[in-house]
A and B are shown apart, each in its own frame.
Chain A
Amino acid sequence: MDVISCQGLTKNFGRIKAVSDLSFTIGQNVITGLIGPNGAGKTTLLKIIAGFTRPSSGKVTVFSENPFNSLKVSANMIFVDEHMKFPSSLSLAQIMSAAPAFYKNWDMGLAKELFAYFSLNPGQRHHHLSKGTKSTFNMIIGLASRCPLTIFDEPTAGMDAGVRKDFYRALLRDYLQKPRSMIFSSHLLNEAEDILEDILLLQAGQKRLHLPVTDLKEFAVALRGKKEVISELTAGQEIYHQKNIGKEHSYAVIRRDAADGLLKKSAAAGIEILPVAAEDLCVYLTTRNRGGIDHVFDRNQSF
């Protein structure tokens, strides 16, 4: 059974389309990375899935129900982000003791262990916490609630490198203990890559890719060599990214299954064939300008 299903999902803010004709499904017990640059529509999509906002058109179901105003979805879903609100009158310890009433799978042992590990102060108020500590506390709530659908929207905002690493490890270990569906949004793949199963790549509110991370790594290859040879070989191909290396060489990223024999031909022509890191590919696929930042400077120089 699909946990989430979206069909032709669109959300407008005035004239801007934050999410545009999005269709996809997410299966049970999959950790999905929702990746895209700022403004790609990640948060908007997640808030629709959580039932916080309504789509302008299209259909969304979570656990086979429309999430907007669904208690079933709310009881089985937690949405963790840096804007999570808690009563300013309650201390962190009081918030933690209030949570089990809401979530039947709540694991107080885990919550307390994590709380102590990250040396949080039980008497502190949530709104007095620093950005990174807030993220850490919210993450603990998110993990300990053990909801069948756990949504993390940019969960590592403001966390130190060490805490971030611990977070990914905690998330994975908790998932291994209690497999469940998780969505994890980030503008970069970075450290999250290895713990993800699938990746959903958004650009300007549209779906760019939705596939297993392991496939993403083999989705594209880079050709490096003489400029003319490369432009000849890649003629008619969709080039995801291209840059010049010095005056005579260039580097071009294309689909691995682009054209039969293209790679063999390239090898024969003395062109190097290199893998493309998943994170780089995500950036290439979601940037409008194929030449990247170098393009700006190269063009500027020619005047």
Chain B
Amino acid sequence: MSLTETSLFEAVRNQYLYKLKSRLGLFVAMAGTQVLALLFSMGGVASYGRGSQYLHISVKYYSSDIVIWFTILWIFFIAAQITARDEQNIDFTFVSNRLSGNLSNAAFLVTAALIGGITAILSGFLLRVIIYFKGGIYLSSQNFIAAPDVVFTGMAVTILYLLLFGALGYFCGVLARLSPVFIVLLIGLFFFGGWFVPRSILPAQVIVFFRVESSLALLTLKVMITMVLLYACSFILSNRLEVR
């Protein structure tokens, strides 16, 4: 029987489509997460009130910040989850090598970031519509419908953060697969990292590196480079893993 030839591209494309089909449930989970976040946002994400004996003013800020944060958490966890051994065994039931499995996972996470980013921003509109119909409050109308460029910038930034956290989650997942020691280390770092590392040094600087960037282009560049680095490390570390 003659051998068939398969290119890496073809293998990745097939695996990507297979994963998209089989992981639809993860997007349902995303929708659920976002709805939950919306409920949390109903009371306003920030408020201050001032009152006298006769008059009370309360100002509330409504935004989809919570939705965005929840979506970031979601992508982080699904990214870590798809590095699990069972998921890799599913890859190797059909045609795969470690690189094609990793690449198709990365492609899946990019898709997840795009969908997550767009829906998170759109949920902001939904929130405003709900608040409008709830009534009883005076809506400051100038921000009711934001300018398109603002919306798109918001989307872009959200998507960039999702890409970043997707890659980070994937990297953490790979580390956890390599050794359970890393799970302990990662959890330790997350909760107690601040005690050991002076605030001015690592985590704070990492956050500043991304948060203080005001140019979208530069942020994109920073995120892309970091993302590629994280994936590259994940791919190299997992390229010798044994499966099944």
Contact = CB atoms under 8 A, between A and B. Distances in A.
A and B touch in the complex (CB under 8 A): yes
B3 A148 contact: yes
Contacts of B4: 75-76, 103-105
Interface stretch (A66-74, A189-197, A275-283): A66-74
A76 B23 CA distance: 26
**Looking at A29, A94, A102, which has the most chain B CB atoms within 10 Å of its CB?**
A102
B219 interface: no
A82 to B, nearest CB: 11
Q: Is the interface of B mostly helix, strand, loop or mixed?
A: loop
Interface in B187-244: 239-240, 242-244
Q: Is the interface of A mostly helix, strand, loop or mixed?
A: loop
Contacts of A102: 14, 18, 94-95
A54 interface: yes
Interface stretch (B35-43, B48-56, B96-104): B96-104
A139 B238 CA distance: 30
Interface in B1-40: 1-8, 11, 14, 17-18, 21-25
Contact of B95 (A53, A71, A90): A71
Nearest to B18: A98
A74 B91 CA distance: 11
A179 B1 contact: yes
Contacts of B25: 89
19 contacts: A50-B244, A52-B92, A52-B244, A63-B3, A72-B6, A74-B97, A75-B4, A75-B5, A76-B4, A85-B89, A85-B244, A89-B23, A90-B21, A101-B17, A101-B18, A103-B4, A105-B1, A148-B1, A178-B1
Given A102-B95, A181-B1, 7 more contacts: A50-B244, A71-B97, A89-B23, A98-B21, A102-B18, A104-B4, A146-B1
Interface of B: 1-8, 11, 14, 17-18, 21-25, 86, 89-90, 92-100, 239-240, 242-244
